Amino acid sequence: MLGIALEARDFWLRPVRSSDTEPLFYLANIGSPSWSRLTAEGTLTPRQFQERLWRDVLTQYLVCDRIDGAPRALAAVYRADLLSRTSHIDVVSFEVRGAPADAPPPEFVAEVLLIEHAFRDWDMRKVYFEYIANGPEPLAGLELAIEEARFVGDYRHDGTYWDRVVTSVWKCGWQEARSAALNLIGFYE
């Protein structure tokens, strides 16, 4: 696991520590559940959560508020294939409180920072996102992600089946959108 601090105007990413496991378990079980690598198979026990938290993870961060330091989301680069230079990015929001009105959502900040991190520091050529069709779309507003797969009725929540969608971002597409995306979040190089 690489422990590089990544910062933007309103949020910063700090590496996850073992002491974060218990609070993360609590935060992951409040608010409205959404699909992620942590919840794909339903409710987990604390031990299952700890195991799933680190399974196939290349690097993992808490998205922390710059004002009070509170964690707002968990962001990970996982399922990395260093030979084919692909990986997945997962961001789980904790919905503890709203972001400042003029700030981009913490999930968006984390997605942009992790894409930059994956392409710059790990030399990935492509990153994938998975999300539920009724949930927030990764990188919303950038029109950068390409839909690669749609699993119709694949995820059940509150008695309803939802589509699970897989999108990707190619490094060449990121290079074109990079400056605008990093400026949106106030990235500090």
The tens digit of pLDDT for each residue in 55-73 reads: 999 999 999 988 888 888 8
Q: Would 1 be classed as within a structural domain?
A: no
Output the pLDDT for position 104.
83
Q: Would 27 be classed as within a structural domain?
A: yes
Q: Would 129 be classed as within a structural domain?
A: yes
Q: Would 158 be classed as within a structural domain?
A: yes
CATH number of the domain encompassing residue 69: 3.40.630.30
Q: Would 179 be classed as within a structural domain?
A: yes
Q: Would 121 be classed as within a structural domain?
A: yes
Chain center to CA of 68:
21
Q: Would 37 be classed as within a structural domain?
A: yes
Total domains in the chain come to 1
Under-70 pLDDT residues of the chain: 1-5, 28-36, 39-42, 95-101, 134-136, 188-189
Output the pLDDT for position 57.
93
Residues 182 and 22: their CA atoms lie apart, in Å, by 32
Note down the domain range covering 157: 6-185
Output the pLDDT for position 116.
92
Using alpha carbons, list the distances in angstroms from residue 11 to 31, 45, 72, 91. Answer: 21, 30, 9, 14
Q: Would 36 be classed as within a structural domain?
A: yes
Per-state percent for the chain, helix, strand, coil, to nearest 5 = 25, 35, 40
Output the pLDDT for position 5.
52
